[in-house]
Amino acid sequence: MHIVKTVEFKMDAYLRCRGTPALISISCAHCDKYLMVYQKDGPGPLLRCYLDRIHHPEPLENRQHDLFDKRHSPVLECSHCKAVIGVPMIYKKENRPAYRMRKGLFKIKRLYK
Ligand SMILES: [Zn+2]
């Protein structure tokens, strides 16, 4: 059963160096509200969410096209209980806008194997 519409993985140099991607659904640990569908490119815990790996919803996906500034860009928050789940950051090694995910404040569900 497909939970979300069929999506194409975002393919680029980052993906090739990290291996098989997985689509995950992220929700708020506090109130269980759906947050986003995210493409995770490598194994291990989710420490960062790169903006260019967000698949859904559209307003979040579109943030990758906005000017990104870690002090002024909007945080990643739960639309229901307003918990701040991720804070803007630039992953220096790749100069890539991301959210630093706050441990314990979100839940992950794998959508595809
Ligand atoms: Zn919440």
User: Which residues are close to ligand 1, an ion, with C-beta < 5 A?
Assistant: 28, 30-31, 33, 78, 80-81, 83
Q: Identify the residue with better confidence: 49 or 13.
A: 49
User: Residue 55 CB: number of other CB atoms within 10 A?
Assistant: 21
What pTM does this model have? 0.84
Q: 18 CA to middle of ligand 1, Å?
A: 30
Tell me the average pLDDT across 26-55: 95
- Asked if the model's pLDDT at residue 6 lies above 80, the reply is no
- Asked if the model's pLDDT at residue 4 lies above 90, the reply is no
Which residues 6+ apart lie within 8 Å of 112 measured at CB?
22, 23
Summary mean pLDDT of the chain: 89
The pLDDT tens digits for 45-85 are 999 999 999 999 999 999 999 999 989 999 999 999 999 99
- Whether the Cβ atoms of residue 94 and residue 42 lie closer than 8 Å to each other: no
DSSP class of 86: E
Q: 12 CA to middle of ligand 1, Å?
A: 32
Q: Say how far apart CA 99 and CA 87 lie, in whole Å.
A: 5
pLDDT score at 100 = 97
Tell me the average pLDDT across 2-26: 72
Q: 27 CA to middle of ligand 1, Å?
A: 8
